[in-house]
Amino acid sequence: MDVDTAEQRVLDGQEQPPVLLARKLMEEVEQKKVDARLLGGVAVYLRSPRVRIDPLARTYHDIDLAVSRRAKKALTEIMTSQGFVGDRHFNALHGHKRMVFQKDNVEVDIFIHLFEQCHNLDLEERITRDPLTLSLADLLLTKLQVVHINHKDLTDVLGLLLQYPPGTGEGHDIIDLNVIHLPGNYAQKLVDGCPGMLFPTRSRYF
């Protein structure tokens, strides 16, 4: 499995509160076979050891989750049992597509089947493709869809591309370009090893 090992966690030292909360949450999600997976910075942290050391290491403040429509209730029950408190006003207004919870000053943003920000990504049929997190391709898409990409998003993108090769297929150790649908020969150039096409200024970070 491409997610991190216990030995790697020891080498990393003490983990940040959002990471610890996410691990505990996902243990119960996995145990109860709930169709929910992590995305966002914490998900990248768990998939890519590259982002745990300089120059890509950063601070995490929140947790992002995607859940299928049919698993919304089960996930809500898990959140409540672990002491997460829902934003009653926000969840009442937007709970059909998004929910917010909080615990120990860590906010959890839950996307219900649809990741809706600068662009919309329908994740309903792909949420459980990988264990623990969304697939590498979907993690990358949630970062690349940002119109005005910031430093932390760029850091996460680099962490994924430096850790995993782009390619085609459903393995857990590649970024499946069939999911991303890049135009023209863009995908093949990524396979051939041209991340500079996406990030011409990446040398600033190395």
Interatomic CA distance for residues 129 and 125, integer angstroms: 8
Residue 11's pLDDT band (cuts 50, 70, 90) = very low
CB atoms within 10 A of CB 51: 23
Provide the whole-model pTM: 0.81
Between 24-28, 116-120, 132-136, 191-195, the lowest mean confidence (pLDDT) is in: 191-195
Q: Which domains does the chain have, with CATH numbers?
A: 6-205 (3.30.460.40)
pLDDT of residue 8: 45
For residue 204, the SS3 value is helix
Residue 133 in this model has a pLDDT that exceeds 60: yes
Per residue in 48-84, pLDDT tens? 999 999 999 999 999 999 999 999 999 999 999 999 9
Interatomic CA distance for residues 177 and 183, integer angstroms: 11
pLDDT of residue 130: 93
What ranges make up the beta strands (E) of the chain?
36-39, 62-67, 85-86, 98-103, 106-112, 114-116, 120-122, 166-167, 175-176
